[in-house]
Structure 1
């Protein structure tokens, strides 16, 4: 008999001694895998940039879901199941928006048309000003603006013509529908999603992580509710004032614009005040001066009385941090970034106090 093991050893070839493994400190190793990681990061960054519009919709939906969650929680505490509470809140919101648009839409449309019709007359009044007349003589600004406004299609022209305007309107409705659907899903599954994320933390820290996460969500919800209340106060105050000073013809449309812009931190209220004051000056300089005085006083009341009291329970951050956060958020994501900046900064500060500062104090 022939030994099979001996045959295998005889048939094997001598391929030499294995070399040492490639050192991870080798320049080739570091350069190759470093370049591969950089290329992968660039590729992933490009893909994220491509879906940035979708990510913004998701962030807005999460923001709204956190804002509506306190209402859902209040209904759940009364004994109703969360799914029914979410459906009830969404139905209330949709009904409210529908009734609001049906009630205020025709009024705003008529008043915007009135502003457009009276714009040429206001431009004629501006021509009486000596400095404005000098500028007009040099650059022919007023005649160009008058022709542009009097054509009647300036609103659609701002969006690239009739086709572009229609496409943008359809896109706005599509985005609104996506946000509503995502908000519904996020609201319905908020508790499940939170619990799934909290389970990723170690068991020894899960309770603390859960409490911190709940605090962040509560602060965002409180900020959304507070911003809505502050905007309503600005709109109602503007509506009453404009009727008193004699701008009732445009009061509803301008008050709606002020309330909408007031949601934007820092600059929104100022933009609304400038817009209303400019139209008031074109109508009557005395009314314009009254508007300037009113909005200067009202913004002080809002900044030092209304806003702190409304936001004191949800957002507790220094004024300088508010300004910096709003500027950074607006630079990164525009209006959406400005809206999300303050609650995000509040959450970061809260986590810093609870985690970093306490850990440093314990050393």
Structure 2
């Protein structure tokens, strides 16, 4: 067995072992790499107009993001807080109207009876449950901090970590490994660009559509729709829930109008915007997106669902380069017999 084969088997085996024993670690590293690609791309844009080094460009882009976020937060804090308070006030009233509507039907009464607080079974051991929730919260915050610092380190010196990956394979494979790493970064960068375009379109169309039909808090609902559009398939459903509840203020017709807005927006995003930008960026089929969402969600939970689409784009690129082009295409095509024309003699 050659060193090339051994190096690939060791690298693949180590990755599979890590996914089996500590599945969260590769996902966090991938999330950090995605953040690093985003910061690196922003630094490249800044360096086109500013004569600064790469490291300075990354730090300037990060500082610019923080300043823009803080500025928008200061400008929009008061109106957003007022709208969120109004949303918090109106949603319970809308939920009450839903309850009154369901109580008119037998199946609705049974459903309401099951979800009453007194009829729902609560887990025993309140102290341990609270401790678990607290531990989960701190664990999530620790993961956010870890991903942030790792992403910053990846963006500041990507060549260092690329050389580390190259060192894990045989010398004869290192030029190809370098090309694969560079193409992986391009794939993730293209996916990020396509995703941001889709999120912006969803937020703008949703907010505008809800405003046109008179739904209150349309800007807040548009922002929610844009943020949740990062989660494919499930995100739009979650974003539509508060809007539908608010639409019930005008009765069933208002709720149906809200549902119509979300269906139109998602149709435009799914069949026009996303296919166009994703085909141009990463060439990711819609079926592959749905399969990846289900598979990674079942295997790795919410984090896997959140990262399913970029991981599917990267996996598709790796399969194409390493398996199809690197292995299957090396076999010569089977020669087809040449059919001789039949000459009819009269």
Fold-level match, TM-score > 0.5? yes
Say if 1:176 and 1:98 are closer, same or farther in 2 by CA, change over 3 A.
Answer: farther
Work out the number of aligned pairs and report it. Answer: 304
Tell me the residue number matched to 1:314. Answer: 281
- Alpha-carbon distance, 1:131 to partner: 4.9
In the alignment, which of 75, 88, 94 is matched to residue 122 of structure 1?
A: 94
Tell me the residue number matched to 1:273. Answer: 240
Tell me the residue number matched to 1:68. Answer: 39
- Alpha-carbon distance, 1:175 to partner: 4.4
Deviations 1:221-265 (A, max 9, x none): 2212221221121112212222222123x2232222211211001
Query: Given that residues 135 and 141 in structure 1 are in contact (C-alpha distance below 8 angstroms), is that contact kept between their aligned partners in structure 2?
Result: no
Say if 1:260 and 1:46 are closer, same or farther in 2 by CA, change over 3 A.
Answer: closer
Query: Given that residues 206 and 265 in structure 2 are in contact (C-alpha distance below 8 angstroms), is that contact kept between their aligned partners in structure 1?
Result: no
What does 1:1-363 align with in structure 2 at a 5 Å threshold? 48-49=21-22, 56-76=27-47, 79-126=51-98, 128-129=100-101, 131-132=103-104, 134=106, 141=113, 175-248=143-216, 250-358=217-325, 359-363=327-331
Tell me the residue number matched to 1:29. Answer: none
Q: Distance in 2 between matches of 1:140 and 1:338?
A: 30
- Alpha-carbon distance, 1:53 to partner: 5.7
Moved more, 291-300 or 58-67: 58-67
Say if 1:126 and 1:355 are closer, same or farther in 2 by CA, change over 3 A.
Answer: closer
The gaps in structure 1 that reach 5 residues or longer are 1-40, 146-159
Say if 1:120 and 1:68 are closer, same or farther in 2 by CA, change over 3 A.
Answer: closer
- Alpha-carbon distance, 1:270 to partner: 2.9
Q: Distance in 1 between matches of 2:251 and 2:171?
A: 68
- Alpha-carbon distance, 1:307 to partner: 0.5
Deviations 1:269-314 (A, max 9, x none): 2332344223312444333222222221221111111112222233
The gaps in structure 2 that reach 5 residues or longer are 1-13, 118-128, 332-346
Query: Given that residues 68 and 221 in structure 1 are in contact (C-alpha distance below 8 angstroms), is that contact kept between their aligned partners in structure 2?
Result: no
Deviations 1:113-171 (A, max 9, x none): 323323443344335537546467657659958xxxxxxxxxxxxxx88x999887776
Query: Given that residues 235 and 258 in structure 1 are in contact (C-alpha distance below 8 angstroms), is that contact kept between their aligned partners in structure 2?
Result: yes
- Alpha-carbon distance, 1:347 to partner: 2.3
Q: Distance in 2 between matches of 1:271 and 1:209?
A: 40
- Alpha-carbon distance, 1:190 to partner: 1.2
- Alpha-carbon distance, 1:106 to partner: 4.0
Q: Distance in 1 between matches of 2:107 and 2:99?
A: 10
- Alpha-carbon distance, 1:329 to partner: 1.4
Query: Given that residues 281 and 288 in structure 1 are in contact (C-alpha distance below 8 angstroms), is that contact kept between their aligned partners in structure 2?
Result: yes
The alignment's C-alpha RMSD in Å is: 3.4
Query: Given that residues 198 and 274 in structure 2 are in contact (C-alpha distance below 8 angstroms), is that contact kept between their aligned partners in structure 1?
Result: yes
Q: Distance in 2 between matches of 1:138 and 1:339?
A: 34
TM-score where L is the length of structure 1? 0.71
